[in-house]
A and B are shown apart, each in its own frame.
Chain A
Amino acid sequence: MPSVRVIRRRIKSVQNTSKITQAMSSIAAIKMRKAQQRVLAARPYSDKIVEVLGALSARGADGLEGEGVHPLLEKRPTKKIQVVHITSDRGLCGGMNGNLNRQTGSYILHETHPVSVVTVGKKGRDFMVRFGRDVKAVFTDLGDAPRLLDTTPIAKVVSDDYTKGEVDEVYVAYTQFVNNLVQRPVLQKLLPIEPPKVAEGEKTKQVDFIFEPSTDDVFARLLPRYVDMQIYHAVLETIASEQSARMVAMRNASENAKDMITSLTLEMNKARQEQITKELLDITGGVSAMEG
């Protein structure tokens, strides 16, 4: 059995670690709340965009005057695919990034068409680079509270590749924030845009809008915004997921530390008792030797 001193040192170190994990868990809890608020704050905007796009496409707008459709709507036979892979920059957040990496990784393995990746976040970047994937662009250090403008470059990269015909389909992989305990890795189609459908009943009660400059112009202006919004939304969800995953992981770590301290303390007491017994035996042994 290790000596009392060694065990005491272990306990100290576990205690220090648990202080850190406790602090991380409380910080993550606060950040998670803020991140959730941000997801909610972005909702009116995205709801409205979806609503308007639906209304416009129900009216037959296709983003281009005359023949043809807007480049972001254009469907092509699939030859090349691109995935926007959104992870966090930092670790210590449980299996969140691992799960997403695994999901996208297996998607790429099973996909017969060549797949290139645009990574957001260091964890995803490291994973994709390590496995030698075709990484087209890398975005890191978006921080805890990105603004829409911080994420538009991501949307621009993929939209440009798409309009230039470098890729024929774009997906976005991110971690959806379901609730504090559940975060789900998802893979969603981003391009070509499939305008949201308006329910049949709603179409009839639609108002006759005046469009300025024209339905197609308004539509064409909104489509890139829609892509921006989708990416922004995915990033916000990822941040909320990251913080809540970290909060849970750190809380578990703190609890494990507590268990460990309990069992180490028990062990230490045993060791100390044993030592005392040994000393007592030595003394009584010595006394009886002198008497004898």
Chain B
Amino acid sequence: MPGTLHVEIITAERVVYKDDVNMVIAPGSEGQLGILPRHAALMTTLGTGELRLKKGNDEVSMAVSGGYLEVLNNKVTVLADSAEHAEEIDLARAEEARKRAQERIKTRSSDIDLERALTSVHRAEVRIKVAQRRRRPPISQ
């Protein structure tokens, strides 16, 4: 087994995830980025997206939005505005949220903030994607 990275995913309310993994794939604000052990020290802001953690043959997927990520001495710290395990996501509610946000964009009444509505659609889509991922069979290798 190659080297490992220690990952901590922290939100304002709790520590969401804490473990050693082999690879982190994060939605950086400048694009997806993959982090392997012995990565150089890095500090970046995060966008909304799927955060994947590879550990052996397992893969954990999480929906994160906003925040920032730090890599230092094989330790990855994610400070997210929100982070949810796939198991925690209520698929029905996420679908509902997406529909609502899309509705808002379509009707486009004068007082809505288009950018915010678009972000909500994006966020809902990420949550749906992550929630569906757990329903697929595990990756065979």
**Chain A contact residues, CB within 8 Å of chain B:** 38, 41-42, 44-46, 48-49, 52, 147-149, 207-213, 217-218, 221-222, 225, 228-229, 232
Q: List 12 A-B contacts (CB under 8 A).
A: A45-B11, A46-B12, A49-B79, A52-B70, A149-B82, A209-B43, A211-B43, A212-B30, A213-B30, A225-B79, A228-B12, A229-B12
> A41–B11 Cα gap in the complex (Å)?
9
Contact B15 A148 (CB under 8 A): no
CB-based nearest B residue for A211: B43
Known A212-B28, A212-B43: A52·B68 in contact at CB below 8 Å: yes
Q: Which of B13, B43, B44, B67 contacts A42 (CB 8 A)?
A: B13
The residue in chain B whose Cβ has the minimal distance to the Cβ of A151 is B12
Judge if B91 is at the interface, Cβ distance under 8 Å. Answer: no
B13 to A212, Cβ gap below 8 A?
no
Taking A148-B13, A148-B81, A213-B30 as contacts, is the C-beta distance between A208 and B41 under 8 angstroms?
Answer: yes
Q: Which residues of B contact A221 (CB under 8 A)?
A: 45, 68
Nearest CB of chain B from residue A143's CB, rounded to whole Å:
13
Asked if B114 is at the interface (CB within 8 A of a chain A CB), the reply is no
Contact A45-B12, Cβ < 8 Å, known A212-B28, A218-B68: yes
Cα–Cα distance between A211 and B43 once the two chains are bound (Å): 5
Which residue of B10, B30, B43 contacts A44 across the interface (Cβ within 8 Å)?
Answer: B10
A41, B13: Cα distance in complex, Å: 6
B29 at interface by CB-CB < 8 Å? yes
For residue A199, give the distance in angstroms from its CB to the closest CB of chain B. 18
> Digit string of B21-64 for contact with A (CB within 8 Å is 1, else 0)?
00000001110000000001111110000000000000000000
Q: Could you say which of A42, A52, A209 contacts B12, with CB atoms under 8 Å apart? A: A42
Complex CA gap A41/B79 in Å reads 13
Question: What secondary structure prevails in chain A residues at the interface with B?
Answer: helix
A170 to chain B, nearest CB (A): 20
Nearest-neighbour CB distance to chain A for B13, whole angstroms, equals 6
User: Contact mask B66-78 → A, CB, 8 Å, 1/0?
Assistant: 0110101100010
Q: Is the beta-carbon distance between B28 and A207 smaller than 8 angstroms?
A: no
Nearest chain A CB to B52 CB, angstrom units = 19
| A211 and B44 contact, CB distance less than 8 A | yes
Ranked nearest first, the 5 interchain pairs of A and B with the lowest CB-CB distance are A212-B44, A148-B12, A207-B41, A210-B42, A209-B41
Q: Which residues of B contact A (CB under 8 A)?
A: 8, 10-15, 28-30, 40-45, 67-68, 70, 72-73, 77, 79, 81-82
On whether the beta carbons of A218 and B12 are closer than 8 Å, the reply is: no
Q: Which residues of A contact B11 (CB under 8 A)?
A: 45, 148
Residue in chain A with minimal CB distance to B43: A209
Q: Which of B13, B43, B82 contacts A218 (CB 8 A)?
A: B43
Q: Which residue of B lies closest to A215 (CB)?
A: B43
Q: How far is it, in angstroms, between the C-alpha of A38 and the C-alpha of B15 when the chains are bound?
A: 11
A37 to chain B, nearest CB (A): 9
Chain A residues with CB below 8 A from B30, complex form:
212-213
Check if B43 sits within 8 Å of A52, measured CB to CB: yes
Q: Which residues of B contact A209 (CB under 8 A)?
A: 41-43, 70, 72
Chain B hits for A46, CB < 8 A: 12
- Among A44, A217, A232, find the residue whose CB has the most chain B CB atoms closer than 10 A: A44
- Cβ contact within 8 Å between B29 and A45: no
B44 and A218: CB pair below 8 A?
A: yes
A sample of 4 more A-B contacts (CB under 8 A), given A52-B43, A213-B44, is: A41-B15, A42-B12, A212-B30, A221-B68
Closest to A146 in B: B13
**Contact (A41, B14) CB under 8 Å given A52-B70, A213-B30, A222-B68:** yes
Cα of A38 to Cα of B11 in the assembled complex, Å = 12
CA–CA, A44 and B13, complex, Å: 9
Closest to B69 in A: A212
**From residue B75, how far is it (CB to closest CB) to chain A in Å?**
11
Q: Do A217 and B45 contact each other (CB < 8 Å), given the known contacts A52-B68, A52-B70?
A: yes
CB-based contact A210/B12 at 8 Å: no
